[in-house]
């Protein structure tokens, strides 16, 4: 495990400080998952490695939350559920979905609009699951 942790740290994944921003929370989770994939982290280590990156408020939340888990060992799937429930609560997810549905280019450049479209589309995967759907929504 020590070598695996050294590999994990050497990739330098971002820390998460508990920001109440659903886009940042999802982006952090995605980055950590990519790190696991890149270095071939075993499932048994994923939660421990990712929670090492929780700092400040996020760490306080995790310390309290993990002690409430009945089995003591928290799988990656369970950690992800708990993390999303805390940092991307349902009302925020609905808010992001609305922002996506109401998105208009207006004063943005095409590149800025595309970046915002991509950012918000993560909250409505069912509406952009094919290239045709993406293109139609983008226009």
Question: 51-69 pLDDT, tens per residue?
Answer: 999 999 999 999 999 988 8
Which contiguous run of DSSP H or E holds residue 61?
helix 57-66
Q: How far apart are CA 12 and CA 96, in angstroms?
A: 29
Q: How far apart are CA 114 and CA 132, in angstroms?
A: 15
What percentage of the chain carries pLDDT values higher than 70? 92
Beta bridge pairs of residue 54: 16
The model's pTM is: 0.74
Q: How many residues in total does the chain contain?
A: 139
- What pLDDT score was predicted for residue 24? 92
Q: What is the mean pLDDT of residues 95-122?
A: 91
Predicted confidence (pLDDT) per residue in 3-33, tens digit: 655 665 666 788 999 988 898 999 999 999 9
pLDDT at 84 over 90: yes
Residue with tokens 């595309």: 114
Q: What is the DSSP letter of 108?
A: S
Q: How far apart are CA 133 and CA 130, in angstroms?
A: 5
Q: What is the mean pLDDT of residues 33-47?
A: 86
Average pLDDT, the chain: 88
Query: Residue 124 in contact with residue 97, Cβ under 8 Å?
Result: yes
- What pLDDT score was predicted for residue 2? 58
Q: How far apart are CA 102 and CA 16, in angstroms?
A: 29
- The answer for 123, left when phi > 0, alpha when psi is -120 to 50, beta otherwise, is alpha
3-class SS of residue 54: strand
């Amino acid at each position: 495990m020590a070598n695996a942790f050294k590999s994990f740290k050497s990739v330098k994944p971002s820390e998460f400080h508990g920001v109440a921003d659903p886009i940042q929370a999802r982006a952090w989770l995605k980055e950590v998952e990519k790190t696991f994939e890149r270095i071939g982290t075993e499932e048994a280590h994923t939660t421990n490695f990712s929670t090492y990156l929780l700092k400040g408020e996020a760490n306080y939340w995790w310390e309290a939350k993990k002690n409430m888990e009945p089995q003591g060992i928290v799988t990656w799937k369970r950690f992800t559920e708990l993390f999303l429930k805390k940092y991307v609560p349902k009302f925020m997810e609905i808010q992001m979905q609305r922002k996506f549905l109401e998105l208009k280019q207006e004063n943005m450049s095409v590149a800025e609009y595309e970046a915002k479209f991509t950012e918000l589309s993560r909250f409505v995967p069912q509406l952009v699951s094919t290239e045709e759907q993406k293109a139609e929504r983008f226009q």
